[in-house]
Amino acid sequence: MNRYHLFLVFMLLFMHGLFGQDTIMNLWPKSVPNQLDIGEKEVDTLENIRWIRYVQQPSIEVYLPSLPNNTGKAILLFPGGGYQGLAYNWEGVDFAKAFNAQGIAGIVVKYRLPNSKTIVKNRHEVPLQDAQRAIRLVRKMAPKWNLDPNKIVIMGFSAGGHLASTLSVHYDEKVYEKQDEADDLGARPNFMALIYPVITMDDKITHRGSREALLGDQGSDELMKRFSNELHVNADTPPTFLLHATDDEAVVVENSLRFYSSLKDHKVPVTMHIYPSGGHGFALGLNHTLLNGWLNRFFEWLASMD
């Protein structure tokens, strides 16, 4: 093996050690709630970005920083996809790796989607079930992973932002039966970041694709109110970072504005950045002149929360 090949092998090993996930854990140690095994297959494809559909085994994919750089913070990532798929690397793994460079654990949540045929009832419950379980599991594993259970952040994108905001206002709602001691732990996030999020089910400004996927074509008034998260903010809602582009035509900026107003009314600390352009789904925004530094604004905000 010549020096060039030795160098390549070294670099591959180095990059695997730097960026390889530390573990993938299934969320549910027993049976997955609200799910019946009928042979449906999970679909995992690469279409410029990695899309995962029909999630069968919800999990967390954990990226831990090196111990000397570890801040004790962890960020759970909820990728978007209209509650019909997950933009798994674009709004998940790529961010987890970026967080590691800041001494923060990045944890990608592969949550179930309500359009799966395996869901036996109450399909609107399954994303929240997985989100609650994910944060409880991270708190259970915090000592092993050298994390502070009181520095758990959630970050959601688009429909994943709706799920994150749902968790932030319904964290204490019982939506599944206890499976182990992790379920005795709290599901309230300490901090929250919502990136071009769906917030409301209101006809005037909702993202209809996300609403129909979650609630069905004829979602009841009760369900639409329950999942209009701006209506459920209270003084215990976690401090929040909001990011949106004014020219977002898929999930209009009024979603973030409405949530901001509700947080402000309840005296919840909130920071909002609204950019004039960027559209929807820009993720890290690296190719956009205005947006390519937004993640630094987030890190500054998170540091200010200490």
What tokens appear for 86 in the block? 């997950």
Which value, to the nearest 10 degrees, does the dihedral of the CA atoms of residues 93, 99, 105, 107 take?
-30
pLDDT score recorded for residue 148: 98
Write down the pLDDT at residue 135. Answer: 98
What pLDDT, on the 0 to 100 scale, is given for residue 189?
Answer: 98
**pLDDT for 20:** 64
Tell whether pTM > 0.75: yes
Number of Cβ atoms within 10 Å of the Cβ of 263: 24
Rounded Cα distance between 187 and 163, Å, is 13
User: In whole angstroms, what is the distance from residue 185 CA to residue 174 CA?
Assistant: 12
Strand order, beta sheet including 43-47 = 43-47, 49-53, 86-87
Give the three-class secondary structure for 42: coil
CA distance 104 to 71: 6
What CA–CA distance (Å, rounded) separates 306 from 304?
Answer: 6
Can you give the pLDDT at residue 14? Answer: 46
The DSSP code for 89 is: I
Residue 1 has a pLDDT of 43
pLDDT value at position 217? 78
Place of tokens 């688009």: 158
Sign for the pseudo-dihedral over CA of 172, 93, 211, 279 = positive
pLDDT in tens, 109-147: 999 999 999 987 899 999 999 999 999 999 999 999 999
3-state secondary structure of 233: coil
Please name the residue that has the structure tokens 């989607």: 113
Which own/partner pairs from 235-238 qualify as long-range (CB within 8 Å, at least 24 positions apart)? 235/266, 235/267, 235/268, 236/188, 237/168, 237/169, 237/263, 237/266, 237/268, 238/154, 238/168, 238/188, 238/189, 238/190, 238/191, 238/192, 238/268
* H or E element, residue 192: strand 191-195
Q: Is residue 269 a contact partner of residue 235, using CB atoms and an 8 Å limit? A: no
Which residues in the chain show pLDDT less than 70? 1-20, 218
